[in-house]
């Protein structure tokens, strides 16, 4: 939805970023609160489907906290 502006569930284009959404942030099991990776949610107002994305500025922290296996 973030990239296409279209809901993959219902096809609606009534998609919007959720302002003030700070739930479901990603934190390593043994990490400090400063290691929290923040996410952004995109919501379809037609069907209620929600998509979650890591904020672009958070990807270095995500890569550090979750190295490739």
Q: What is the DSSP letter of 37?
A: B
The percent of the chain in helix, strand and coil, each rounded to the nearest 5, is 20, 25, 60
This prediction has a pTM of 0.70
Tokens 């995500």 -> residue: 62
pLDDT tens figures, 11-25:
999 999 987 655 667
pLDDT in tens, 8-65: 999 999 999 987 655 667 776 665 666 778 888 899 999 999 998 888 888 888 887 7
CB 58 within 8 A of CB 9: no
Contact 34, 53 (CB under 8 A): no
Look up residue 48 and give its two tokens: 């209620």
């Amino acid at each position: 939805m973030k990239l296409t502006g279209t809901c993959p569930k219902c096809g609606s284009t009534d998609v919007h970023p959720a302002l003030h959404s700070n739930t479901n942030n990603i934190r390593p099991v043994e990490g400090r609160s400063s290691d929290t990776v923040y996410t952004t949610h995109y919501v379809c107002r037609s069907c209620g489907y929600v998509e979650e994305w890591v904020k672009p500025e958070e990807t270095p922290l995500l890569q550090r906290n979750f190295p490739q296996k």
